[in-house]
Structure 1
Amino acid sequence: MSLHPSLSWELIDTVFYRSRPCYESLNWPFDNFNLKDYMVSIGPFASIYALYPKSAVVNLQLTDVNDCITVLNGSGMEIFRINWNFTLNQIVKVGFTRDSKLIMVLKTGICRLYYNYQGDFNEYDLKLGTIKDARFSLNGDFAVQTHSNKFAYIPNIQDPSPVIFQQLETEDVEPYHITTWTFTASKGPSETAATHGEFQDSVRFFIFTTTGISILTSTSTEPILLNHAFLQSVHLVSISPNQNFTALYAANSIYILDGEFNDLLIQHENVSNVSDLRWCSNDVVVYTCNNSLNVLGPTLETLKFYTSGTPYLHAEIDGLYYLTNDGLNFFSRVPNITEETFKIGSSSPSSVLLDSIEYLDRRSPKANDLLEVIMDDLVLAVDGCIRAASEEFDVYWQKNLLRAAAFGKVNLDLYDSTEFVQTCNYLRILNIIRAPDKGIFMTYNQLQEFGIEKLIDVLLLRQLHYLCLKICDFLDLPNFKIMTDWASCKLKYSTNSSDDELLSLIVTKLEKEKIDWTSLSYVAHNEGRTTLAKNFLTYEPSTSKKVRFLLDVGDGNYDELEYALTISDEDSDADSILLILLQLHGTLTNVEFFKIINDKPSAIGVLKSYFYQFDDTMLENFMFQDDDIIGQILLENNMAKKTVLMNRSKYTQFLQSPTNNFNKVEQVQLDLRNTFANIVAGEPIIKTLEKIIVVDLKKAQNVASKLNVTSRQFAMCVLQTLAPIAAKHPELYDFANSKHGKVLKFETYFRELLKRGEKRQAGLYLKSCKDMASREKIKAYIQCGMWKEAERYGYSNTNERFENWLGI
């Protein structure tokens, strides 16, 4: 029988915490292994580690330092190795994306993303010069510090477009020394922002120097400087997940401050040799020193766990993993429902229901007696046992709690079993992936937050296709992604098999499955199996996908294009035919072009229907050669009509003017690029003005005048640009009261700010809103939370009592 869960609980103030082993022994693939001799990076859920020797970093002055980076699973079993020359490619930091892909940041400003565990990678140039340091967040985004003390945030390294980043410069801090730094990006980039390379105001950098702290945001042009005595020697910093608190290690003390660094809440003195400092959720601070893990509570009460060597920490949403030479452990707060269920002497409904199972196993009638006691709270008891089961790592207690829930559920007439079924399913999956050969020790809460589909992606990285199929069958999920990945792996790594053998094997297994055969064609083509790639196309039902593949890999090859046109013509896919004809039209002579479409009726129909828009002369020649008299007449008639319409239309008289205007706009934008690097020539005028308004409003007014933007258009652009930026609200208010801003009514400013939730700022404009009816203005004051102003205005401007109007 397993030990009672409460035996491992430790009390800090009035809250219980516990440290539980994930893997009590690790399968390190090294002889005489000691974790302190390695640089260690821990990935999501402590399910993957990257290790490389510290000696390889220390001995960089040697002419040639060759070693390897070893990637292991959570139980210490090797996944793959990367041979590395640490002299030629100096590593700044190793981290992981949220889906466990390895990221390497190199000193040269190059960033590598290993998208599988066979050593294949994509490389990106951050274009920031020499990198000095980097920090990774829990979500896989990261930030870097350059040797010139500039800071940049990279939200998503997997974006195939050039890496998007926001560069933030500090003031010249020399001869002062940057002691440490960190960043927060809680909300991440929005979809729109990510598209344009911009970020929300949530990205902040905290740079600690020997003179204090500088706080940088993505919208501020000057750093916010704070200076306290203890801020001048900070060596470690950790910000709580909700960003309400900050923990600092400085001058042999640990300080807990509020999120804005204004109020010192706790000071824990006489702490030395601290090697790491992290928050465990938002509850307590955990720090490591002298072969121990230490926990600091909100009233300076502490816990100490002795470890074999100094542990390495990795924080997650519901707790904190710590890795030592001997094992992997998980430290977390004991949830309230677990405390109620297992606390000695507890009389909660879930605890009583769990006790009833013990009597049920003995076939004692007392089981029914206990059930009668909690009958009024039986739903709470069942829910409590289900949630307590999800928190336990020990299978014995999982089963007992779920049996108790099932026993209670049977005695309820109406009970929604969805949560019970999901908990059983998820725990079964968790117990499988927690096995040492899988090495993914996730908690139930982490799995819920991460999602089953993303878990399958992680398992596919490790090529555990059979397990993924079993999970999909178990949860009734589609499996086409797994089948496609399995087939792709077969193509990549079955080097000794012929094309016919691979085709037979894959088709036999997958012919009845709904998979993307075109993706297999791409893989086969990349592996040099061009014949096999075309054979896979015969199983692809989508003509447009076939054509897209042939155009991508054909590189203008005549045979490939003719084959693509043939299959498009057979399926009468007009869009694909038009795409191919346009590509052929630019590469073939008229004779060759007419020959290739001669026996393809669908292609001829598309040519006659659409090609008058592109090349009416060529179309006329084709109709003449084809003896299509009616087509020639229609074409001539169509051109005659267009000529008459053009001559009659007043708009054609001014075609030269818009062209000249466009050239003028483009020239102004090119001139502005010397000052504003993010301006793109040819972009809409309003977009250009928005970028300038944020930085220099007066400059934007001059540019608007040059580009003939009306005063009203410019004022509306200023309003819509500055309204979302809190730091720019005073500037917006000054503009609204200027002659340029008064072309818009104050009501317009009020409504725009109120729409964006800026009630206090919107209220500033109400005094100047002269065109509002009295009742509308009172309502506006109330919407802004300005009750006193609403009452004062109501008494002075309405004939009836204000209370009656409000319905009081």
Structure 2
Amino acid sequence: MNNPSLGWERLDTVFYRLRECYSPLQWDIELDEQPVAISNSAAAIAVFNSHSSHTSIDIFSGSGVLLNSIPWLLSNGQIVSMSWTDNEELLVVLQNGTIRKFSDLTSEFDEFGLNLPEDSIVQEAKFFQDGIVVLTNEKKFVFFSSFSQVPRHFTLNVDSIDCWNILYSDRVLQLFVSSNKSIHISTLTTETSVKFGQVITGIEFPPNGSFASLLTPDNLIIATSDLENLLSEFSHNFKHIRSMQWCSNDAVVLATNDELQVIGPGDDSISFYYENRPFIRSQNDGLTVLTQSKLEFLSRVANFTEETFRIGSTKASAILLDSIDQLDRHSPKADENLRIVKPNLVEAVDNCIRSASEEFDPQWQKKLLRAASFGKSILDFYSSEEFVEICNNLRVLNAVRQPEVGMFITYAQLLNYGHQGLIQSLIRRRLFLLASKICKFLSLFPDNIYFAWAKLKIKSSYNTNDKELSEIILDKLAETKRVSYTGLSEVAYNEGRVELAHLLLDHEPVLENQVPLLLQMGQDKNALLKSEQSGNVDLICSVLLRLYYKFSLSQFFILLSDSTDVSIGIFKDIIGSVKPDLLLEYYYQDDQLIKIAESNLLQDSTYSLDAETKRNRLLELLKAYEGKKFYENDVPIIESHLKLLNYQETLTNKFNHSFVAFSKIETISELARLDDEKLTETQKYAYQFGISSTQLYHSVVKSLAKSHQWDKLFQFAKSKKSPVGYELFFRECYLQNEKRQAGLYIGMCKELTYKARADLYLKIGEYRLAADEASKKKDIDLLQLVKDTAGSTNVGITRLIEDYVTRIG
């Protein structure tokens, strides 16, 4: 194997290398002047092919294998530009302002419009992430920040345009327009200008957006991206430059019809020559070069790789690598090399591992990893995590770099992609077996692979009947347990395969996920059944309401009657409470006389009805209950309500105040408020309706306190001994902020301890009486508490308590 450094080219103090990825390419197409779009990492290449008998957009892999051919009619419009998003969606910009976004490397597309005026046409387009900026023939700039938003316009107005470009950094989009030896920088809110002494014919930015390369007819200028500082200037001899791109963030590459010139920060440059025109695309870690016959990758040689491979290098990693050759020759020099590099052995191992990740040749990868393994085997402590990770990733990379796959991804690009991103790319290419093997190797879940395979199977199996196809799919999906059968069922339904949709949906383990699709497919009865089986009350309510709004009332009630008691119960309890009229309609439809009577009474209870109407409702319900053994315990309750209603009617006439809307206990409270001082009628009512003395006292005391009838409350307290004590009287007065009234009842609280009475006195500020309670029991601690509560400013209380303490001794 030749040393990789033999293909390096020095540029100032660093090295660059141009490496073949695929040669020759497996296509039969002429690039020439056709629009060409190279994706990120060159895993997909789109070419507008107008030379064949059928005009088309052909999509190839990096090795030139045809992935898809999208027929293109001239009536579709003239293509201005094409580009790829990070998710391998092909964006095609047409002259009439239409944008088509092709997904998953297929012919399926979404179409967007820029809403241009009738006479406007698109002349040029630039792309950023999921957005696009176009230049019209009216020198107007229109852009999408994302394809879900309305097109917006830059306000910049210039007379002429020499060149333009965009920079998207830190979520800010900047427009750079060269006009009349000046560059105008515009955002949505600001505009600035920078003057130059010469015409700028090209503007490009590196992937990190830190610098700008400005092309003039004679020179290349490197500046900071804000154009405030000019860093270097290089004279070129090209009359016709086809393209200018950055090689990562380090060097600028100028492309002509047969040459690439790489220009570094200083005055140095290196050139590469071609027989055909090279197409170039900047990458985060280098530059992709596409020609008629091959795909190449230009990149800067990393420092650790340079130390390892540079001829004559005495760095530790170079010596460690040489040890492998010595081992293969069974030379004792291998051990000698280890002794030489032992002080720097960790660095040598690290550099060999990282150099392996940079190499494309599997033989050199293996040799470098052998060197690393040999070195770390004599280290006492070394983490093999990076070594194992790079070994695994290189095995994956070598698999996808095969020409039949055509994804020549670098190690840095893989880290940017992520394993899941790589799997998705393989799925888009329908390489399900390879994707599955990689998932198994990396211990990833393969669910999205199985889902994509089943989805494609449904869409492409035209000649297989639904039952047979479902068996094929279910047999394959038995290998995984995390696939969404609901999603596959929806695909089948959208493809018009209803039976297949039902067969797949039956295997969805989460019943809640089945219901929305069943409703969408018109399987209303089945949707209601599945929601019942799920036990999710909210879901059942949602289904019932959707069916209520979908069908006529009679159809809805028929569907409800055919359901289980679960749905009927939820309809009555939840929906019926919100829509009582709907519940009554259901009872009429089902001839449920008892429920009709109950529902009428329940609805009437929410309104203030006259006694006669309420009596009729109760009599109606009593009649419905008669002879029904199930309701025999409810009959006395109805009769008790009738008795209460009759008595309330008597009270209404006597006091000229309606009692009809009150309950049994509420009637006591209202009656106590209106009754005489002796509460004669109140106590009579309590006796007739069997209300306990405890309930009576609680209701009367609360009612009189709230209505501030203090004299009547005091008379009630003295009328006879309270069965609930007198703390209740104190508490209700205290809640009304009537401390004087509350104090009248503390002395009556004989059921309380002296400490509890003292506490009540303290609450209303009667410190003297609290002190008396403590003095009677000779409680010095309580006297001290009263003194502290009263405060030192209350001189009289302080002296009184000191006197009590002295007497107690």
- Tell me, what secondary structure is at the counterpart of 1:374? helix
2:66 paired residue number: 78
1:731 paired residue number: none
1:744 paired residue number: none
Is 2:286 the partner of 1:286?
no
- 1:497-646 matched pairs, under 5 angstroms: 497-513=464-480, 514-554=482-522, 560-598=523-561, 599-612=563-576, 614-622=578-586, 625=590, 626=592, 627-628=594-595, 632=599, 635-636=602-603, 639=606
1:167 paired residue number: 153
Encode CA deviations 1:87-143: one digit per residue, 9 max, x unaligned: 541112111111212111122222211113341222222334545145444645332
1:213 paired residue number: 183
Is 2:226 the partner of 1:260?
yes
Question: Following the alignment from structure 2 to structure 1, what is the Cα–Cα distance between the partners of residues 321 and 605?
Answer: 85
- Structure 1 residue runs without a partner (length 5+): 57-64, 189-201, 555-559, 648-808
Question: Following the alignment from structure 2 to structure 1, what is the Cα–Cα distance between the partners of residues 303 and 451?
Answer: 44
1:760 paired residue number: none
Cα deviation, residue 168, structure 1: 1.6
- Tell me, what secondary structure is at the counterpart of 1:257? strand
Question: Following the alignment from structure 2 to structure 1, what is the Cα–Cα distance between the partners of residues 576 and 289?
Answer: 70
Task: Mark the CA change 1:628 to 1:377 in structure 2 (over 3 Å): closer, same or farther.
Answer: farther
Cα deviation, residue 335, structure 1: 0.3
- The one-letter amino acid paired with 2:186 is L
- Tell me, what secondary structure is at the counterpart of 2:582? helix
- Tell me, what secondary structure is at the counterpart of 1:424? helix
Is 2:40 the partner of 1:44?
yes
- The one-letter amino acid paired with 1:536 is L
- Tell me, what secondary structure is at the counterpart of 1:38? coil
Question: Following the alignment from structure 2 to structure 1, what is the Cα–Cα distance between the partners of residues 124 and 539?
Answer: 47
- The one-letter amino acid paired with 1:576 is L
Is 2:327 the partner of 1:349?
no
Q: Is the 8 A contact 2:98 2:112 kept in 1?
A: yes
Q: Is the 8 A contact 1:5 1:342 kept in 2?
A: yes
Is 2:450 the partner of 1:483?
yes
Cα deviation, residue 529, structure 1: 0.6
Question: Following the alignment from structure 2 to structure 1, what is the Cα–Cα distance between the partners of residues 264 and 284?
Answer: 18
Q: Is the 8 A contact 1:125 1:163 kept in 2?
A: no
Is 2:478 the partner of 1:495?
no
Question: Following the alignment from structure 1 to structure 2, what is the Cα–Cα distance between the partners of residues 603 and 320?
Answer: 64
Task: Mark the CA change 1:480 to 1:630 in structure 2 (over 3 Å): closer, same or farther.
Answer: farther
- Tell me, what secondary structure is at the counterpart of 1:214? strand
Q: Is the 8 A contact 1:183 1:203 kept in 2?
A: yes
Encode CA deviations 1:57-115: one digit per residue, 9 max, x unaligned: xxxxxxxx961121111111111111112354111211111121211112222221111
- Tell me, what secondary structure is at the counterpart of 1:242? coil
Which of the numbers 98, 104, 107 marks the counterpart of 1:119?
107
Cα deviation, residue 634, structure 1: 9.2
Task: Mark the CA change 1:591 to 1:40 in structure 2 (over 3 Å): closer, same or farther.
Answer: closer
Q: Is the 8 A contact 2:22 2:63 kept in 1?
A: yes
Is 2:133 the partner of 1:143?
yes
- 1:437-456 matched pairs, under 5 angstroms: 437-456=404-423
Q: Is the 8 A contact 2:97 2:122 kept in 1?
A: no
Greater shift in the superposed pair: 80-89 or 479-488 = 80-89
Question: Following the alignment from structure 1 to structure 2, what is the Cα–Cα distance between the partners of residues 630 and 426?
Answer: 76
Cα deviation, residue 206, structure 1: 0.7
Is 2:78 the partner of 1:90?
yes
- The one-letter amino acid paired with 2:556 is F
TM-score, normalisation: structure 2: 0.71
Question: Following the alignment from structure 1 to structure 2, what is the Cα–Cα distance between the partners of residues 329 and 587?
Answer: 61
2:98 paired residue number: 110
Task: Mark the CA change 1:310 to 1:463 in structure 2 (over 3 Å): closer, same or farther.
Answer: same
Encode CA deviations 1:614-642: one digit per residue, 9 max, x unaligned: 4221023335655448973895488459x
1:244 paired residue number: 210
Q: Is the 8 A contact 1:149 1:170 kept in 2?
A: no
RMSD: 2.5
Encode CA deviations 1:507-530: one digit per residue, 9 max, x unaligned: 111135221001111111121111
- The one-letter amino acid paired with 1:610 is I
2:425 paired residue number: 458
Identity of aligned residues (%): 36
- Tell me, what secondary structure is at the counterpart of 2:451? helix
1:16 paired residue number: 15
| Alignment size in residue pairs | 603
Q: Is the 8 A contact 1:26 1:326 kept in 2?
A: yes
Task: Mark the CA change 1:588 to 1:24 in structure 2 (over 3 Å): closer, same or farther.
Answer: closer
1:377 paired residue number: 344
Encode CA deviations 1:221-258: one digit per residue, 9 max, x unaligned: xx32222232xx33221112333321122223222222
Task: Mark the CA change 1:635 to 1:115 in structure 2 (over 3 Å): closer, same or farther.
Answer: farther
Q: Is the 8 A contact 1:256 1:266 kept in 2?
A: yes
Encode CA deviations 1:717-748: one digit per residue, 9 max, x unaligned: xxxxxxxxxxxxxxxxxxxxxxxxxxxxxxxx
- Tell me, what secondary structure is at the counterpart of 1:95? strand
- Structure 2 residue runs without a partner (length 5+): 609-657, 662-809
Task: Mark the CA change 1:637 to 1:203 in structure 2 (over 3 Å): closer, same or farther.
Answer: farther
Which of the numbers 333, 341, 347 marks the counterpart of 2:300?
333
Question: Following the alignment from structure 2 to structure 1, what is the Cα–Cα distance between the partners of residues 408 and 479?
Answer: 35
2:717 paired residue number: none
- The one-letter amino acid paired with 1:493 is S
Task: Mark the CA change 1:104 to 1:634 in structure 2 (over 3 Å): closer, same or farther.
Answer: farther
- Tell me, what secondary structure is at the counterpart of 2:35? strand
2:244 paired residue number: 277
- Tell me, what secondary structure is at the counterpart of 2:107? coil
- The one-letter amino acid paired with 1:111 is I
Task: Mark the CA change 1:467 to 1:278 in structure 2 (over 3 Å): closer, same or farther.
Answer: same
TM-score, normalisation: structure 1: 0.71
Is 2:303 the partner of 1:315?
no
Task: Mark the CA change 1:428 to 1:90 in structure 2 (over 3 Å): closer, same or farther.
Answer: same
- The one-letter amino acid paired with 1:259 is S
Question: Following the alignment from structure 1 to structure 2, what is the Cα–Cα distance between the partners of residues 631 and 315?
Answer: 78
- 1:163-242 matched pairs, under 5 angstroms: 163-171=149-157, 173=158, 176-188=159-171, 202-210=172-180, 212-220=182-190, 223-230=191-198, 233-242=199-208
Higher relative contact order (CA 8 A, sep 6+): 1
Question: Following the alignment from structure 2 to structure 1, what is the Cα–Cα distance between the partners of residues 60 and 544?
Answer: 52
Which of the numbers 95, 99, 103 marks the counterpart of 2:87?
99
Question: Following the alignment from structure 2 to structure 1, what is the Cα–Cα distance between the partners of residues 371 and 127?
Answer: 40
